[in-house]
């Protein structure tokens, strides 16, 4: 995995978080963005996305199990070395039913099909 810090990156006209993560072969790109990249992103918070450059597909990762948009910011997306796991930090309280933390929490998502 190549984690990039402090560099600007954009997809089309959307400028992305300065902290993003790129899988070794370039097939996966994880990032945080205020811009809604998919219709399910109906909030005004930073959300975590997974982008597949070959297909042009975006996946909203920082959403609840039923697809509900997060209720606060998510940031610092990091892909595992094998591209199967994505970790990120979020202040959202609705991503999992068991979140009882008072501050930001670490979330880990198993990526389907990776």
Query: What confidence tens digit (pLDDT) does each residue in 36-70 have?
Result: 889 989 999 999 999 888 888 999 999 988 888 99
- Point out the least confidently predicted range of 9-18, 41-50, 51-60, 94-103: 9-18
The pTM of the full predicted model, rounded to 2 decimals, is 0.81
Q: Give the CA angle between residues 110, 73, 44 to the nearest 5°.
A: 115
Question: From the centroid of its chain, how far is CA 15?
Answer: 14
């Amino acid at each position: 995995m190549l984690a990039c810090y402090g560099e600007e990156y954009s997809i089309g006209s959307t400028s992305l978080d300065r902290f993003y993560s790129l899988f070794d072969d370039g097939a996966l790109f994880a990032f945080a963005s205020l811009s809604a990249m998919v219709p399910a992103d109906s909030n005004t918070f930073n959300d975590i996305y997974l982008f597949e450059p070959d297909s042009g597909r975006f996946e909203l990762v920082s959403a609840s199990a039923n697809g509900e948009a997060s209720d606060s910011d998510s940031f610092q997306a990091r892909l595992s070395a094998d591209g199967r796991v994505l970790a990120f930090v979020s202040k959202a309280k609705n991503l999992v039913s068991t979140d009882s933390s008072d501050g930001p929490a670490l979330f880990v998502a198993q990526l389907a099909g990776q």
